A = this chain, B = another copy of it.
Amino acid sequence: MDKLKVIAHIHTDFPEKFGVPRQSGVVKSLTGRIVFEPEFRNSDALKGIDEFDYLWLLWEFEGVASDKFTATVRPPRLGGNETRGVFATRSPFRPNPIGLSNVKLERVEYTADGPEIIVSGIDMRDNTPIFDIKPYLAYADAHPEASDGFAGTHIEERLEVAFPSDLLSMLPADKRESAIDVLKQDPRPHYHDDPARVYGVSFAGKNIKFQVNRNVLTVTAVE
């Protein structure tokens, strides 16, 4: 196969990787806008897509390319100490840096620049290159009984979030719920536990500063 073609980019509220949910669907309120490259701006290519509730996106893990094959990774879910085989994880550090996400199809908007797809439940940085969009087929793709392996051990919301209302009001009104949901997921590396440390998540045009003490995350500034 030749080089992959970038068919679109997705625009999200995360200019940086820190804070992006570790899987799709985990923060359901997070939206993204898929904007096609000029060659692929064709409403016909989306004909019938509204019959589906969810879509698969294949996309590029950027900045992780390596010529060397590394067989194991240290999943953050396991505290960063244990190793797992790369094919037993969804880690970006893999032979072909392709991410797989399933997102909820919210709507298609027809603009002067072609059709754009609004999706939710994203787990991608802003401007991530998209290689493919496929419909989600429950009869083939849904296995609710499947084991989540080690990845299933920390799914529950982990933190209580204290977001002072004067700080919260500095975010756009339609981004506040998502911001809280993002923080609840605990963006820190799992092996961090330093209540004095100040972290910052870039989100929706702002930088949200916070500290974590035990299971309470407190927002200290919005810049």
- A residues within 8 Å of B by Cβ? 1-5, 7, 23-26, 39-40, 42-49, 51-56, 58, 60, 65, 69, 71-72, 83-90, 94-98, 100, 102, 129, 131-152, 155
Besides A2-B65, A141-B146, 4 more A-B contacts (Cβ < 8 Å) are A42-B69, A48-B84, A48-B150, A52-B88
Q: Does the CB pair A88–B47 fall under 8 Å?
A: yes
Q: Does the CB pair B72–A141 fall under 8 Å?
A: no
Q: Does the CB pair B88–A135 fall under 8 Å?
A: yes
How many monomers of this protein are in the complex? 2
Chain B residues whose C-beta falls within 8 Å of the C-beta of A55 in the assembled complex: 87
- Checking B47, B89, B102, B129 against A140 with a beta-carbon cut-off of 8 angstroms, the contacting residue is B102
Chain B residues whose C-beta falls within 8 Å of the C-beta of A134 in the assembled complex: 87, 89-90, 100
How long is the Cα–Cα vector from A69 to B7 in the complex, in angstroms?
10
Chain B residues whose C-beta falls within 8 Å of the C-beta of A53 in the assembled complex: 143, 145-147
User: How many Å from the CB of A70 to the closest CB on chain B?
Assistant: 9
Q: Does the CB pair A45–B58 fall under 8 Å?
A: no
User: How many Å from the CB of A22 to the closest CB on chain B?
Assistant: 9
Chain B residues whose C-beta falls within 8 Å of the C-beta of A48 in the assembled complex: 84-85, 88-89, 149-150
How long is the Cα–Cα vector from A42 to B45 in the complex, in angstroms?
40
Q: A53-B143, A152-B139 are in contact. Are A71 and B100 (CB under 8 A)?
A: no
How long is the Cα–Cα vector from A86 to B140 in the complex, in angstroms?
18
Q: Does the CB pair A7–B96 fall under 8 Å?
A: yes
Q: Does the CB pair B98–A100 fall under 8 Å?
A: no
How long is the Cα–Cα vector from A91 to B40 in the complex, in angstroms?
16
